[in-house]
Amino acid sequence: MNTKPQVSHAFLTFGQEAPGHQRAWMETVHQLDAASKLDKKTGELAYIAVLAAVRLESGIPFHVKQAKALGATREEVLSAVLVGLPAIGNGVISSLPIALQAFDEE
């Protein structure tokens, strides 16, 4: 059983085809993460909400598995996906099956 969350094919391609850009991007991501005052689980849930809102569904499975590893419940993941519902409408519901499938995987 592979317990490490897998990144999307697009992100793998990014690293293979543009490693310098990916390193620069990841340095920024790590600096932003370090600057955040949110605990890790809350940060992952917030990020899932943003991914659902902007429909970047390829990143959802990775971040759902990260959130789950940090103690997030299935209900918290569901709520994170739906947090944008009042602001942007039902576009976020397309992320529900992706997020819940990722959560339910071993």
Domain ranges of the chain: 7-36, 38-106
Q: Model-level pTM?
A: 0.87
Domain 38-106 adopts which CATH fold? AhpD-like (1.20.1290)
pLDDT values of the chain reduced to their tens digit, one per residue, 106 residues:
455 668 888 999 999 999 999 999 999 999 999 999 999 999 999 999 999 999 999 999 999 999 999 999 999 999 999 999 999 999 999 999 999 999 999 7
Nearest CA among 70, 57, 67, 55 for reference residue 8: 57
Complete DSSP assignment for the chain: ---SPPPPHHHHHHHHH-HHHHHHHHHHHHHHHHH--S-HHHHHHHHHHHHHHHT-GGGHHHHHHHHHHTT--HHHHHHHHHTTHHHH-GGGGGGHHHHHHHHH--
